[in-house]
């Protein structure tokens, strides 16, 4: 089920709060992400947020989306499923999830997982993860 307007507003609020804690002394790009978990089992429709955490060895940087996923698994366990995620930044810029984050989101997504992000015009737009990551890699073992 797609998130309601109120749920998206809550996600954006949580993401904005998380972005205030961004550790981004190198890029100064302050990103926040908030995940709405499916309301079943232990997940309880909870919202879990994360921010980007950079490193002097640049490639060790953790994106906001990945921080949020790590926090959600830590809090709710390996069975989590993402109903929706909102991404924001405090720089007034576009903020679509990077390719690595799309693959990371896929791990815990469904066919319906919705991604909300600001586009270049400053509007919040939404897309399914399936649309953002077509023909995605999936590990096929026997």
The reply on whether position 7 binds ligand THU by CB under 6 A is no
Cβ atoms of 25 and 38 closer than 8 Å: no
Q: Compute the least distance from the CB of residue 17 to ligand THU, in Å.
A: 15
Cβ atoms of 86 and 19 closer than 8 Å: no
The reply on whether position 15 binds ligand THU by CB under 6 A is no
What order of strands is seen across the sheet that includes strand 82-89?
Answer: 47-51, 31-37, 82-89, 114-118, 124-128
Question: Is 65 a known active-site residue?
Answer: yes
Catalytic residue among 65, 79, 107, 112: 65
Neighbours of 7 (CB within 10 A): 18
Q: Compute the least distance from the CB of residue 124 to ligand THU, in Å.
A: 15
Question: For the CA atoms of 118, 119, 124, 126, what is the dihedral angle to 10 degrees?
Answer: -110
The reply on whether position 127 binds ligand THU by CB under 6 A is no
The reply on whether position 55 binds ligand THU by CB under 6 A is no
Residues that bind ligand THU (CB under 6 A): 24, 27, 29, 31, 52, 54, 61, 63-65, 97-98, 101
């Amino acid at each position: 089920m797609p998130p309601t307007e109120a749920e998206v507003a809550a996600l954006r609020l949580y993401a904005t709060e998380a972005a205030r804690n961004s550790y981004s002394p190198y890029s100064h790009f302050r990103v926040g992400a908030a995940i709405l978990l499916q309301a079943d089992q232990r997940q309880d429709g909870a919202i879990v947020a994360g921010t980007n955490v950079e490193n002097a060895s640049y490639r060790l940087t953790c994106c906001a989306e990945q921080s949020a996923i790590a926090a959600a698994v830590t809090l709710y366990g390996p069975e989590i499923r993402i109903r929706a995620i909102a991404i924001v930044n405090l720089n007034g810029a576009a903020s679509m999830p990077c390719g690595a984050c799309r693959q990371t989101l896929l791990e815990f997504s469904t066919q319906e997982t919705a991604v909300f992000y600001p586009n270049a015009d400053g509007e919040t737009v939404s897309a399914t993860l399936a649309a953002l990551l077509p023909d995605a890699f999936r590990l096929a073992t026997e």
